[in-house]
Structure 1
Amino acid sequence: GIYRVPLEKRRERKEFVLNMAGLEKRRDSMTAVLAGGWKQRLALGCAILHEPPVLFLDEPTSGVDPIARRSFWSLIYDLSSAGHTVFVSTHYMDEAEYCHRLALMNRGRIIALGIPDDLKEQMRAYSILNLESSDSLESMRALEGVAGIADVAVFGAGLHIKARNADSVLAEIRAALSRRQVGIRRLELISPSMEDVFVSLIEEQERSIQ
């Protein structure tokens, strides 16, 4: 075929791909009728038919449900364990943590490079507080200029507050929100996520440009 897989190995490779991707029972299905997650599995299988030593996957889990995403990453781990080098691009920071080594990019440039734990270690000088309030936008306004707060970023339905010292700034946060009549549903210290690291690095880069 196109990848010059020897004739005597083609059947073996096809069976391997079907088994690897869990598509044995769908071997006679048309690609058009497969769900998004199964199509991604099939695409990955086609990409490894010729056993490439290096594989590039561009946002392979985009548009698939969380269960399919986890399953797909299990396949990627299997390939890595079998000796393949896999490069994956993704906008999902939780997925990025699955990788052995990360390159974080902004504006087309690499702004950080390393293993996930080492990149998170850069945040150890700060505390990360998770805030869920009655009004996230008003909360951001209320926290502008509060001493001890380095940054505030939207995270899901709430906010992540980056502070030098959580204990010293908690009272200030509560007071600032109270003055704006913003109710606090949850305010707690959490471990930094890769998204916290990424947002922090981007903020630092933007400030340096200004």
Structure 2
Amino acid sequence: MNHSQEVCIQTEKVVRKFGDREVLHGISLQVQRSEIFGLLGPSGSGKTTLVKMIAGIDEATSGTIEVLGTSMPKLEMMNRIGYMAQSDALYTELTAKENMEFFGSLFGLRAKKLNQRMLEVMELVGLTEHLKRQVGSYSGGMKRRLSLAIALLHEPEVLILDEPTVGIDPVLRKSIWDELEKQSRQGTTILVTTHVMDEADKCHRLGMVRDGSLIAVGTLEHLKEESGSASIEEAFLYYGGVRS
């Protein structure tokens, strides 16, 4: 495969079991460099389990995962990957600024660069005036936005976002997607999970996940065309075996 240098994320027959229960059934997937790839599926379909393993936070029971040519999980990949979890991994007793300084130092950002990026990402998520507020006093939506800001902080080569815009108002959601598109044009590879159909429209390609299996992969147009569907909802039902 001569274009393999363009493949940024690759999973081969990835299985994840919790005890006797198999939650992912042999998922093989490729994401190209600078692509926005969406994993679309209902809650509980296995999307979060999959992206956690790609981010190196969890390990596959069997199968292989490579990110930027490196077998995962690998600790030193941490500063090349930005990961935003579904539940906010924030220190609520610290201010937003202190949270960012802490994560920035983990990512190896120096003071000057860190301060510059901090202001840029806080501006992007609309939290500039709340920089010195304790995170414990943030609303749920504000915490989501801060988590996203932290994932973007070190300008990672790969951005893995688990339901990034849940609970975020439409205006801000648009500015976040504008930023993701800009990052993608600049060469960042973005893997995003969503169950919001209009966000699926913004992805270059989609993988549909249902009950721990990858049921279809392709561009939105391809998936609609192949399933004879007018909308992504219809296509999803089609691939999931729900024929109208």
TM-score bracket for the superposition, by shorter chain length? 0.5 to 0.7
**Aligned match of 2:215:** 111
**Aligned match of 2:237:** 199
Please tell me whether the aligned partners of residues 40 and 60 of structure 1 are also in contact (alpha carbons under 8 angstroms): yes
**Aligned match of 1:85:** 189
Larger RCO, structures 1/2 (Cα 8 Å, 6+ apart): 2
User: What is the deviation of 1:68?
Assistant: 4.3
User: What is the deviation of 1:66?
Assistant: 4.2
Q: Give the counterpart of 2:133 among 12, 29, 46.
A: 29
Counterpart residue identity of residue 83, structure 1:
G
Please tell me whether the aligned partners of residues 55 and 84 of structure 1 are also in contact (alpha carbons under 8 angstroms): yes
User: What is the deviation of 1:27?
Assistant: 1.9
Q: Deviations over 1:11-68 (max 9, x none)?
A: 2221222222222222222223333333222111111222110011111223444444
Q: 1:40 to 1:202 in 2, by over 3 A?
A: same
Q: Deviations over 1:141-166 (max 9, x none)?
A: xxxxxxxxxxxxxxxxxxxxxxxxxx
Q: Give the counterpart of 2:158 among 54, 70, 81.
A: 54
Q: Percent identity?
A: 38
Q: 1:10 to 1:39 in 2, by over 3 A?
A: same
**Aligned match of 1:19:** 123
- Structure 1 gaps, min length 5: 127-191
Counterpart residue identity of residue 193, structure 1:
S
Alignment coverage as a number of residue pairs:
139
Secondary structure of the residue that 1:203 maps to in structure 2? coil
Structure 2 CA distance, aligned partners of 1:102 and 1:81? 18
Q: 1:65 to 1:98 in 2, by over 3 A?
A: same
Structure 1 CA distance, aligned partners of 2:160 and 2:237? 25
Structure 2 CA distance, aligned partners of 1:53 and 1:95? 21
Q: Kindly name which structure, 1 or 2, has the bigger radius of gyration based on alpha carbons.
A: 1
Secondary structure of the residue that 1:76 maps to in structure 2? helix
Structure 1 CA distance, aligned partners of 2:127 and 2:184? 20
Structure showing the higher helix proportion among its residues: 1
Structure 1 CA distance, aligned partners of 2:116 and 2:212? 41
Q: 1:10 to 1:65 in 2, by over 3 A?
A: closer
Q: Give the counterpart of 2:144 among 37, 40, 46.
A: 40
Structure 1 CA distance, aligned partners of 2:170 and 2:120? 25
TM (norm. structure 2) is 0.51
1:1-210 aligned at under 5 Å gives the runs 1-124=105-228, 192-203=230-241
RMSD: 2.3
Structure 2 CA distance, aligned partners of 1:73 and 1:9? 24
Structure 2 CA distance, aligned partners of 1:48 and 1:112? 29
Structure 1 CA distance, aligned partners of 2:236 and 2:195? 11
Secondary structure of the residue that 1:110 maps to in structure 2? strand
Q: 1:68 to 1:79 in 2, by over 3 A?
A: same
Structure 1 CA distance, aligned partners of 2:206 and 2:108? 33
Counterpart residue identity of residue 211, structure 2:
R
The ranges of structure 1 where at least 4 consecutive aligned residues each deviate by more than 4 angstroms after the TM superposition are: 65-68
Structure 2 CA distance, aligned partners of 1:99 and 1:108? 21
Structure 2 CA distance, aligned partners of 1:87 and 1:65? 21
Q: 1:14 to 1:69 in 2, by over 3 A?
A: closer
